Structure 1
Amino acid sequence: MPQPQRIAIVGGGWAGMAAAVALQQQGHHVQVWEASRQWGGRARALDIPAPDGGHWTVDNGQHILIGAYQACLQLMRTVGVETAALQRLPLDLRYADGLGLHLPDWAPPWDAAWGIARARGWHWREKLALLRTAQRWQRQQFQCPASASVADLCQGLPARLLQDFVDPLCISALNLPASAASGQIFLRVLQDGLFSGRGGSNLLIPRTDLSTLFPATAAAWLQQHGARLRLGERVQALTPTTDHGTAWQVEGESMDAVVLATPCAEAARLVQGLQGVPAPLSGRTTAWTNCAQALPHTAIATVYAHTAQGPGLPAPMVALRSQAGAPAQFAF
């Protein structure tokens, strides 16, 4: 049995809390630092003023899971999140007028084949083009050159398919437009979602706020199991050391290892500030920092709309038509 280690996790978002839960299960001594005053990072709850003078709990953007995310779902079960916290629906990318793609709750590949064949608003030539392209991706074992974008993969597909299928799926899964998103990651999502087993493509829409859905619940679980949590405390620097057999000093604490689960700019700041790094590692840390600093940040805007009257939406999630100068993806 490996000797338990003292492990610092910098960042209390979903990635940091997932790492903390997994390491705590393995018997390590975990400490988590989170700079903000709330767990969850980019997927957390927010309190905003309500029109009646009270407050609403909303999410900082809508985040969706799919049925193929088995490891994430298992972590949620581990910390005590009930299955009922997620509403499971077959993949539905239809607009409010009913046009678009909707899969039945069948086993793959029949769900995708039937959904494409029955998609409203698509010409039969467009449906055939999508089926042929999907078959080609499957024959290639969902592999493509590392430099290929989603747009590269979809060259030759009719414009309607790009607008009604590729772009919405790319935005929802990768948070990037097809021209900028990784083709290899997109193919992996398609493989896991559409070909990994029944229910893999299902949408899992949260019934509760995102903090409760995992990070805040994970924090409570970690405290119950002996982890130390440092909310509202920013790690200013990491100091490598060999004193007393430890490897790192983190805010005055001796640690054997450090996990960086922060945005790339914050991780680059911490690695760039390392002092006394051995010469063989200095070049590697410099290269890593340069790479992290070069990653672009793309914002996603969320609009919260309120109406005292009205029928609401026809489904929990409805696709929105995007136009030049007026980007839009989904309403929930």
Structure 2
Amino acid sequence: MSLPVQVGIIGGGYAGFAAAVTLARGGARVFLYESSRTLGGRARVVEKDEHRLDNGQHILLGAYEETLRMLRLVGVKPGVLETRRLALVYPGLCSLKAAALPAPLHLAVGLLTAKGLDWSDKRAMARLMSHLKKLRFRVEPDRSVAELLAETGQTERLSRLIWEPLCVAALNTPVASASAQVFANVLRDSLAASASASDLLIPKVDLSELFPVPASRWLAMRGHQVRTTEAIASIQWDEDGKGYRLDGDPWQNLHDHVVIATAPYHAVPLLQSVPALAPLAAQVAALKHEPIVTAWLAFDGPVHFPEPMIGLAGGYGQWAFDRAALGGPEGLVSVVISARGAHQEISREALEIALLEELQGALGRLPALKWSQIITEKRATFACTPGLVRPTTNTAEPRVWLAGDYVASDYPATLESAVRSGIVAARSILKRCGLKEAGFLDL
């Protein structure tokens, strides 16, 4: 009887665990290595005194089919996600809410009844969506989102309150340098798809507990290995064993395949350790990155939001979240600033004061601030620019694979693109080994 195919996965984020679960379902034996004590990669929990906070606020969409499927597979209950119809609310300025109707009426009626947008704004929004549908959401040649908005006659107000915030939230890249094609893909699979595809799914648990921790338990119950605080320095081919050994693995396991599922800047030295992958290492190293800042603000009393998520306009903050409405403690608020911008030029203290003023301007008088924490992920995502050529899952080394939100796909750097990349890598390995992923009821 032949031994099962053994796969080493480097990286315990969403891509790594999606690959691990898929491989395990196909009969492979999995060893996953994470350098940190905390699972989740760049979507993880961090600790502030006795509090557990996400390193960044993430929102899932109903269109995230593979992420939602993965959550179901590892036993995550649907109730951990707060499901809300699309609502873009700027208190006192604008309110656009999808109607409880089938597509495309959900968006059409929502647009017709939107508050704070005049008829020129509404016609412009309909014009952009109609333009993209006519092009079958292909923007050729690819150009910036700012150019696409100008070409389709979008109003200043609509661009400022709807399109630009959506672009920066989805692509984490300023509109002047963001890919119109990738933005069109996002609109195609959310606003222009089924009514449920545009639903906002906001996690009630931290990002580590949402998927990586349940996936780790699921794997352990089936005899697979997840090792934390195991930093892998390089990938070495073992001629005698005809497989790969990982420098940093104290057990020196021999792997038939290796999946590199780290952040791109951590993938570079691993790729450089494999001679055939030097050109790929250079391509990954050339990717530019954008930051995400999340300010956690804990108030001494309730903060009253009209929706769990609201937009902030005219300052540094972009989106604010009422964590109390999502199962968190009373008075806890998170404010997100995506991509580079003027906020990087001021001190943390000045930024905190500015965000408090912006929140008060949107919500009215606030309770006293008890504590705060500003978390900056300096290289949160790759810069999603026009015409960017992203690396593929397969590499020049036939049994070394890439997975991560930066790997080539229709989507920007999101949890869904990370999960999909892991699934693609795993299914490619299973196919090459003559294995097949089990059906849901086969587990």
- Would you say same fold, with TM above 0.5? yes
Question: Per-residue deviation at 1:191?
Answer: 1.2
> What is the aligned partner in structure 1 of residue 194 from structure 2?
197
How many angstroms apart in 2 are the aligned matches of 1:148 and 1:249?
Answer: 43
> What is the aligned partner in structure 2 of residue 47 from structure 1?
47
Are residue 66 (structure 1) and residue 61 (structure 2) matched? yes
How many angstroms apart in 2 are the aligned matches of 1:3 and 1:196?
Answer: 45
Amino acid at match of 2:318: A
CA RMSD of aligned residues (A): 1.8
Amino acid at match of 1:174: L
> What is the aligned partner in structure 1 of residue 204 from structure 2?
207
Question: Per-residue deviation at 1:309?
Answer: 2.4
> What is the aligned partner in structure 2 of residue 255 from structure 1?
255
> What is the aligned partner in structure 1 of residue 285 from structure 2?
293
Question: Per-residue deviation at 1:178?
Answer: 1.7
Are residue 136 (structure 1) and residue 136 (structure 2) matched? no
Alignment of 1:7-22 (within 5 A): 7-22=7-22
> What is the aligned partner in structure 1 of residue 433 from structure 2?
none
Partner SS state of residue 53, structure 2: strand
Q: Deviations over 1:242-282 (max 9, x none)?
A: 43332x111322111111111111111111122xx3xxxx3
Are residue 317 (structure 1) and residue 317 (structure 2) matched? no
Alignment of 1:234-253 (within 5 A): 234-246=231-243, 248-251=244-247, 252-253=252-253
Amino acid at match of 1:271: L
How many angstroms apart in 1 are the aligned matches of 2:174 and 2:119?
Answer: 26
Are residue 273 (structure 1) and residue 273 (structure 2) matched? yes
Are residue 181 (structure 1) and residue 178 (structure 2) matched? yes
Partner SS state of residue 243, structure 1: coil
Identity of aligned residues (%): 35
Cα distance change, pair 105–174 in 1 and its aligned pair in 2 (3 A): farther
How many angstroms apart in 2 are the aligned matches of 1:77 and 1:231?
Answer: 24
Alignment of 1:161-180 (within 5 A): 161-180=158-177
How many angstroms apart in 1 are the aligned matches of 2:174 and 2:59?
Answer: 17
How many angstroms apart in 2 are the aligned matches of 1:146 and 1:88?
Answer: 36
Q: Deviations over 1:169-190 (max 9, x none)?
A: 1122222222232222211111
Q: 2:87 aligns with which of 74, 83, 92?
A: 92
Structure 2: stretches of 5+ with no match in the other structure:
323-443
Q: How many residues of Structure 1 are paired with residues of Structure 2 in the alignment?
A: 315
Q: 1:328 aligns with which of 300, 305, 318?
A: 318
**Structure with the higher fraction of residues in strand conformation:** 2
Question: Per-residue deviation at 1:133?
Answer: 1.2
How many angstroms apart in 2 are the aligned matches of 1:11 and 1:240?
Answer: 19
Q: Which runs of 4+ in 1 moved over 3 A?
A: 329-332
Say whether the 8 Å CA contact 1:320–1:331 is kept in structure 2. no
Are residue 305 (structure 1) and residue 310 (structure 2) matched? no
How many angstroms apart in 2 are the aligned matches of 1:149 and 1:107?
Answer: 31
> What is the aligned partner in structure 2 of residue 52 from structure 1?
none
Amino acid at match of 2:25: Q
Cα distance change, pair 163–11 in 1 and its aligned pair in 2 (3 A): same
Partner SS state of residue 318, structure 2: coil
Q: TM-score, normalised by structure 2?
A: 0.68
Say whether the 8 Å CA contact 1:171–1:329 is kept in structure 2. no
> What is the aligned partner in structure 1 of residue 37 from structure 2?
37
Question: Per-residue deviation at 1:3?
Answer: 8.1
> Comparing 89-98 with 62-71, which one deviates more in the overlay?
89-98
> What is the aligned partner in structure 2 of residue 83 from structure 1?
78
How many angstroms apart in 1 are the aligned matches of 2:140 and 2:239?
Answer: 42
Partner SS state of residue 289, structure 1: helix
Structure 1: stretches of 5+ with no match in the other structure:
50-54
How many angstroms apart in 1 are the aligned matches of 2:79 and 2:36?
Answer: 29
> What is the aligned partner in structure 1 of residue 383 from structure 2?
none
Say whether the 8 Å CA contact 1:319–1:331 is kept in structure 2. no
Question: Per-residue deviation at 1:146?
Answer: 6.0
How many angstroms apart in 1 are the aligned matches of 2:223 and 2:192?
Answer: 40
Say whether the 8 Å CA contact 2:233–2:269 is kept in structure 1. no
Q: TM-score, normalised by structure 1?
A: 0.90
